[in-house]
Amino acid sequence: MQLDLSHVALEIREGRQSAANLMQMSIAAAQSPLCANVFSQTFFDEARWAAAETPSTTPLAGLAISVKDLFDTQGTRSAASSLVLQDAPLARTDSTAVARLRAAGAAIIGRTHMVEFAFSGVGVNPHFGTPAALDARHPANPQLAPTWPARIPGGSSSGAAVSVASGAAWAALGSDTGGSIRIPAALNGLVGFKSTARLVPTEGTVPLSPTLDTACAITRSVRDAVLLHEILAGRKVTKDERSLSQWRLAVPRPVFFDQIEPAVRNAFERSIAKLQAGGAQIEWIDLPELQELDGVNIIGGFSPTESYAWHRRHLQDPAKAELYDPRVRSRIERGASMSAADYLDLLAARKSWIAKMESAIAGYDALLSPTTPITAPTIASVAPANGFDAAADLRRDEEFFRVNGLLLRNTSVVNMLDGCALSLPCHNPNELPMGLMIWHAALHDDAILNISAGIEAMLNRD
């Protein structure tokens, strides 16, 4: 694990590091080939000024932070990495999340590209290109990395994750509606914490699903995840120094392990074994309530319905409608068929399912699962259609939707639960990145963060 933000901020306060020098390093990383397709807009001059002028006593001490392209940043356009919003008015004020980061001493280095309108867990964008996952290189010989096929970064916070993995940012502001923080964190070997949605305001953002949208961050460590959550939520996390052996942990079945790649299963089971060897008490349990979730979503789900309500004014304009990524547009338009009665039924079904789930997991402090059941496939395998080969385009579309479904399956459980979750790297240096997800129901955030810190420390031991 690289040096974390909070450690470096302390060094700045003690005069052992210079925020201005560190900003120059971040800018150099942002301008390097590693950050191809990462930024929709950069603010290098403003970031240099902020690094030089921000008091070192602030929590973020003038260090570089990136912002996903759906958060309002004063004087810039929130286009959500779309062509549709390229003529949208400039933001007159910062979104609440950005304002809180600035107040804590963040130097905003730029806006990061994302999946168009945040509607995918894969990370590809046909309009502005797709950043490549930085740690998903050939595991046997890192020197072959420049010639090895590029792999997807995960989405929708794709540029956010790569900005942190590359060193361009110390942390990245993003959003999580079905896994959009945790998936790219897992595929880039980073930490992604999705808080309970209600704890962080989402005012001043381009929405996907207001019911599920969560403003949160990608970081390099659990310690930084705590720091960023405290800033974004405006609250202090209660620290708990109990050892892992004193927490009640469980691994739920089934669902999370369906269609799992052998490499992911091996990494997950190896991590569980290491935790148990260190004294953690972990029980494998059956959680049949997980299988009921498909029935809850059978009438359509929140994201298509709520996104259609926001996008319909654009989709009804033929010129605007043509600007959408067809894969995104097709999913948004599914929401047009849901009636008000269906939507109310969905709300009631979710409420009932949450009550069942909370009752079933009440005896445990946290659940442990693979963040995603697969490692990052190549960008080429899921690239947007080029229109030159109908059969090849169909195969890529089919593969895209297969991969998207698998990537979102585990993480979206937590969003439907209205819960909180953290993805922690669990791969060895010679493996593609994989994530271990620590999760529970709403407002268990402090327990999840404390348990995650203990798990991170134990997994990092030799």
* Per-residue pLDDT reduced to its tens digit, 340-356: 999 999 999 999 999 99
CA 335 to chain centre: 24
Q: What is the CATH number of domain 1-293+348-461?
A: 3.90.1300.10
CB atoms within 10 A of CB 168: 28
Query: Catalytic residue among 6, 68, 209, 303, which?
Result: 68
Reference 188, options 158, 227, 229; nearest CA is: 158
- Per the CB < 8 A criterion, the answer to whether 390 and 400 are in contact is no
Reference 63, options 135, 130, 13; nearest CA is: 13
State the angle between helix axes of 5-13 and 222-233 in degrees (0 to 180), rounded to the nearest 10. Answer: 80
CA 222 to chain centre: 14
Reference 404, options 145, 120, 12; nearest CA is: 120
- Per the CB < 8 A criterion, the answer to whether 163 and 172 are in contact is yes
Identify the bridge partners of residue 403 per DSSP, sorted by sequence position: none
Annotated active-site residue 68? The verdict is: yes
Write down the domain spans for the chain. Answer: 1-293+348-461
Burial of 366: CB neighbours in 10 Å, binned 0-12, 13-18, 19+: buried
What pLDDT was estimated at residue 217? Answer: 98
In whole angstroms, what is the distance from residue 124 CA to residue 162 CA?
13
The model carries a pTM of 0.97
Annotated active-site residue 271? The verdict is: no
What pLDDT was estimated at residue 429? Answer: 85
- DSSP letter string over 227-242? HHHHHHHTSPPPP---
Low-confidence ranges of the chain (pLDDT < 50): 1, 138-141
Query: Catalytic residue among 180, 271, 307, 452, which?
Result: 180
Alpha helices in 87-188 (DSSP H): 96-103, 158-165, 182-187
Query: Catalytic residue among 6, 156, 158, 166, which?
Result: 156
- Per the CB < 8 A criterion, the answer to whether 438 and 451 are in contact is yes
Annotated active-site residue 156? The verdict is: yes
- Per the CB < 8 A criterion, the answer to whether 314 and 320 are in contact is yes
In whole angstroms, what is the distance from residue 395 CA to residue 381 CA?
9
